[in-house]
A and B are shown apart, each in its own frame.
Chain A
């Protein structure tokens, strides 16, 4: 009999996320993976600035709150403080990772820093109340693009996996989503691989998780999950963008 239980790596407290937000699912997937790999005691997580700023209250492992966008640099420090004994992950949103912290992201990837990055892309700034993100879609209405994102005025969304895949550095890049049971399973596999890569010393792994934000998208949770299928995935196709080890094997 399978009993539904909370992973040990997740502290049993109420999360502060909005109803229907997918952060909870992703937290759980990360925690399950930490449990399954038996690494909680050596894992240090880095929380971002954004909706998941208080992730440090939810994970049972040691946690650090970083300045906005700087999580990959902080992770670099933590990892290099004790490369043999530290498993380090960052958990970052799109504003944190792809806007203010883009330099830190790109250079950690270019260095093939041996860390795991969980990148939550919900195409909006959630914590500050729904402003345009670097990943907001063309035409998307937000508080700071009230007439829809005008690409002539403020450019185009950044496709992080595609962009980083051009770099020699990173080991593993995959885009997943969590809007269905099937997709959640795929997402967990990807996250597990991203941690396993670090354990194996393979280097930088980033999992981009296409997420929903019913509150700031102005939709019901259900409609938001459908919007992922209808709007987000066509622009941000799911799949593996880089897997150096697999590519090597294939050769």
Chain B
């Protein structure tokens, strides 16, 4: 406890990235994630790192592409509209099998939207965000501690699988302060023999590239990439279960929605309703197993989201629609309060809502 410090979620991400060995950050200011950039601007020059404010999110993600090509840990962060601009780069990173860490501290959309918390980029994050067949590893922190831990984890996974790891947070997670322990087990970075660091005239030239004009070859590349994605699905799925074992009503929620839902589950239990919570920590790969198990005893599921209902599709898929799945949501920067979630639990428990 003594070594814990109070930090904003955004700052915790930045500090954790530095601890994880990231020495290159590129970004463009946007609320509510600007503290990440500000923290990096302050820290990087003092530790021999590079913070550069790019001319746009597009430039920033391509600078990330450059550093990653050169084999070093690198990150960028933004909020929803900025992530859309990075979409092109995310697709190219995937197509070139480059590791990177990208942070999305979500705000309400679409368009310019608002600046208050949201989870409405779930589809964008879990379905890729850019063009083509690909995935990112999507990590959803629900505390400032997890903002830090999943940043470290994100770098490890990105390097291990040569993928982009995305931290999908929201304005609340970015802005809130909680105690954080920054005592991490830092794994050594893997060798990157594919990196373009100069041949030193000692090897064939390396090429970082996403172009492949022969359909048979491009097909093979995609198939192989998806074999790697299968490994990720098998090995890296993360979730938290809370009072699920005997639960009749099970909430699915991530990030801030899961925090709110936990309060509601506690209150429901006090009122004699067997409620539980499954909190996906990886949104891709989505944790299907706990849902497959829980659907055998649950009467219904409720997806609590700060969106018009995006994760609910994955909940329905994971439960094969064997029992009803309903949505409890607020959008536009609003956050459901525990009372709303409790009301939803009570209604569903009474069989009132389809």
Contacts and interface: CB of A to CB of B under 8 A. Distances in A.
A and B touch in the complex (CB under 8 A): yes
B50 to A, nearest CB: 5
B41 to A, nearest CB: 15
Interface in A20-55: 40-44, 46, 53-54
Interface string A171-205: 00000000000000000000000000000000000
A63 B207 CA distance: 5
B66 A43 contact: no
14 contacts: A42-B198, A62-B198, A62-B199, A63-B196, A64-B69, A65-B211, A73-B60, A73-B66, A77-B24, A78-B67, A79-B66, A81-B66, A82-B70, A107-B59
B198 A86 contact: yes
A74 B65 contact: yes
B72 interface: yes
A227 interface: no
A43 B64 contact: no
Interface residues of B, number: 40
Given A54-B211, A61-B205, A85-B198, A78 B70 contact: yes
A240 interface: no
Interface of B: 24, 26, 50, 52, 54-56, 58-60, 62-72, 74, 88-89, 92, 96, 196-202, 205-211
Interface string A59-78: 11111111100100111111
Given A62-B199, A74-B62, 12 more contacts: A43-B198, A44-B197, A56-B207, A62-B206, A65-B210, A66-B65, A73-B66, A76-B52, A76-B66, A78-B70, A82-B197, A85-B197
Contact of A65 (B70, B71, B208): B208
A77 B207 CA distance: 16
Contacts of B58: 70, 73, 103-104
A85 to B, nearest CB: 7
Contacts of A62: 196-199, 205-207
Contacts of B54: 73, 107
Contacts of B207: 56-57, 62-65
Contacts of B206: 62-63
A177 to B, nearest CB: 29
A77 B68 contact: yes
Contacts of B52: 76, 80
* Chain B CB within 10 Å, residue with most, of A62, A70, A76, A82: A62
Contacts of A103: 55-56, 58-59
A135 to B, nearest CB: 22
B199 A40 contact: yes
A57 B207 CA distance: 8
B205 to A, nearest CB: 5
Given A54-B211, A81-B24, A86-B198, A64 B66 contact: yes
B197 A74 contact: no
B75 to A, nearest CB: 12
Contacts of B60: 73
Contact of A44 (B55, B88, B196): B196
Nearest to A49: B211
Given A53-B211, A85-B198, A77 B70 contact: yes
B62 A104 contact: yes
A162 B57 CA distance: 27
B200 A41 contact: yes
**CB-CB nearest 8 A-B residue pairs:** A77-B66, A73-B62, A81-B70, A62-B196, A107-B55, A70-B62, A77-B63, A65-B209
B171 to A, nearest CB: 27
A139 B65 CA distance: 39
A74 B153 CA distance: 25
Contacts of A67: 62, 65, 88-89, 92
B312 to A, nearest CB: 33
B345 to A, nearest CB: 47
Given A42-B198, A70-B59, A80-B24, A59 B205 contact: yes
A50 to B, nearest CB: 12
* Chain B CB within 10 Å, residue with most, of A42, A63, A81, A86: A81
B273 to A, nearest CB: 52
B242 to A, nearest CB: 42
A104 B197 CA distance: 22
Contacts of A75: 66
Contact of A78 (B66, B89, B209): B66
Contacts of A86: 70, 197-198
Given A77-B64, A78-B67, A107-B59, A64 B198 contact: no
Contacts of A43: 198
A42 B202 CA distance: 11
